[in-house]
Amino acid sequence: MQSELIQKLTTDLHKPLSAHEALVESDRCYFCHDAPCITACPTGIDIPLFIRQINTQNPLGSAKTIFDENIFGGMCARVCPTETLCEQACVRNTAEEKPVKIGELQRFATDTQMQTGKQPYSRGPATNQSVAVVGAGPAGLSCAHRLALKGHKVTVFDGLEKSGGLNEYGIATYKTIDDFAQHEVEYILSIGGIEVQHGKTLGKDFTLDSLKQDFDAVFLGIGLGNVNNAGLISGDVSNVENAVEFIARLRQAQNKADVSVGRRVIVIGGGMTAIDAAVQSRFLGAEDVSVIYRRSQSQMNASDYEQSLAQTSGVLLRTHLQPRQIVLNNGVASGVEFEYTRTDGDSLVGTGETVTYECDTVLLAIGQSLAEQAQQNGITLSANRIQVDDQQRTSDANVWAGGDCASNGEDLTVAAVQAGKLAAESIHATLSS
C-alpha cells in the first residue's frame, strides 16, 4: 500500500491525450467567434484558433498560437485552474454537457512542439540595450523571453540553484513529472540573448540602485519571500514547517520515500498550496491528514476540483476553524488549538468555543508577504506589495514589476506570465522611444 501511494507522487495527474483523442476532443469545440474562453484566459490565448489548428492536424501551428501569448503554455496546461477560467466559460459547460478539455488540448499542442527541441521564435536584431530581470520564475522568464524576442540583452538574477520559481519549487510533484519545469526553462532560454545568474539575491549581492546604473531597465519578479505564520510560533520547531518549504523539499528529493511525514498531519490554510501539501502528505503515507480553514469550504481559494482531489485522496477538509495556538510538548508540536468561527455579515468572528486536534506534523499555508529587502528600495508599496499600473510600471520610471510581488498579482502562474509579457512590451516601448 505504501509503495502504491508513493508511486502516485510521480504519476501524471492527467494522462496526456493521444493524437486521436486530441482530434476527437477538438471536434467538440464550436470555434465561437466571440469566444468567452478567450476573455477568461488571463493571457488572452486565441483558444478557438489553437483548437481548430489541432482539428486540422496542425499541432505545431496550434502551439505557436499558444506560445504567442503564453510562453509557459506547457506548464499552464498542467497547473492552470482551467476549471474556473477558460473551461468554466466554455459554452459547452452546461448541466447536460462537459466543457471542451481546453487544458489537455493545450498540453497536447505544446508538448508536440517542445518535443521537436525547437521553439518557433528567434532572437530579434540586437538593440544594444540591456535589461536586468530579478527572479527566474514565470513572471521573470516570461519578461526575459519577450525582451529577447525584441532583441534586447537580458540578464536574469535568481537566489536559488535552479530557475523556474514556484514552477520548480512550489507545485505538487504529480502535476509536473519528469523534471518538466526544467525542460521548459531550457526551452524558453533557447531563444538566446538571456543570461541567468543563480545564487544572486536582491539586497545581498546587489541593490536596485546598482542595477539601474548597469542596465537600461529593471524588472522585478521576486515573488513573496516571507511566509506568514499568524503569530502561531516563534523559532524553529522540528515538526512545524511552512507548506511551501515542505513542497520544495519533496520536489527536490531524489527519492520521495526519504521525505518523512507524521501519521497525523494538520495543514492550516485554504489555497492551492494547502491542498498540494495535504495530498502529498497522504501519498507519503500519513494516515490522518486535515486541511483546516477559517472560513467556509465555498470560500476556500483552492478550486472545487482541487478540493475534490484532496477529498478523494483521503484528506479531510475542516472549516470555520481559526488557529489560536500550536500546542508544544517538550518543544515538539503535539496538536493545534482552534477556535470555531461564524460569519457576521461580511465579518468573520470567533465564537469562543475551541477544539484541539492532535498531530505529528503541522504545515502552514496561510499566505506569504514581500521580503524585507524588497520593501526597502524607495518604490511605492500597496498592501505590502509593489504598486504597479496596468503596464506593470512601478513608481520608479526605470523599474517594472510583476507576479506575486506586484499589487495586481493573483497567485497564479498564468497571471504571472501575463504580467511579465505586459512589462516586456512596456519596457520595449520605453527603450524604443
pLDDT band at 287 (very low <50, low <70, confident <90, very high): very high
CA nearest to 271, candidates 350, 344, 363, 333: 363
Percent of the chain at pLDDT > 90 equals 88
Q: What is the 3-state secondary structure (H, E, C) of 314-373?
A: CEEEECCEEEEEEEEECCEEEEEEEEEEEEECCEEEEEEEEEEEECCEEEECCCEECCHH
Dump pLDDT digits (tens) for 136-145.
Answer: 999 999 999 9
CA distance 212 to 416: 23
Provide CATH code, domain 130-225+370-432: 3.50.50.60
Confidence at residue 6, expressed as pLDDT on a 0 to 100 scale? 84
CATH class label, 227-367: alpha beta
Q: Please give the share of the chain, as a percent, with pLDDT higher than 70.
A: 99
Indicate the domain borders of the chain. 15-114, 130-225+370-432, 227-367
Please indicate whether residue 384 or residue 41 has the higher confidence score (pLDDT): 41
Quote the CA–CA distance of 303 and 239 in Å, as a whole number: 28
What's the CATH fold of domain 15-114? Fumarate Reductase Iron-sulfur Protein; Chain B, domain 2 (1.10.1060)
Which residues 6+ apart lie within 8 Å of 5 measured at CB?
A: 282, 283, 284, 285
pLDDT tens sequence across 69-114? 999 999 999 999 999 999 999 999 999 999 999 999 999 999 999 9
Determine how β-strand 288-292 pairs with β-strand 264-268. parallel
Ramachandran class of 57: left when φ > 0, alpha when ψ lies in -120 to 50, beta otherwise: left
How far CA 336 is from CA of 20, 156, 275, 326, 329, in Å, comes to 51, 42, 18, 4, 11
What is the pLDDT, as a whole number, of residue 3? 72
Q: Which pLDDT does position 4 carry in this prediction?
A: 78
pLDDT, average across residues 355-367: 95
Q: pLDDT grade, residue 280 (50/70/90)?
A: very high
Domains 15-114 and 130-225+370-432 are alike in CATH topology: no
pLDDT 10s digits, 178-236? 999 999 999 999 999 999 999 999 999 999 999 999 999 999 999 997 777 777 876 78
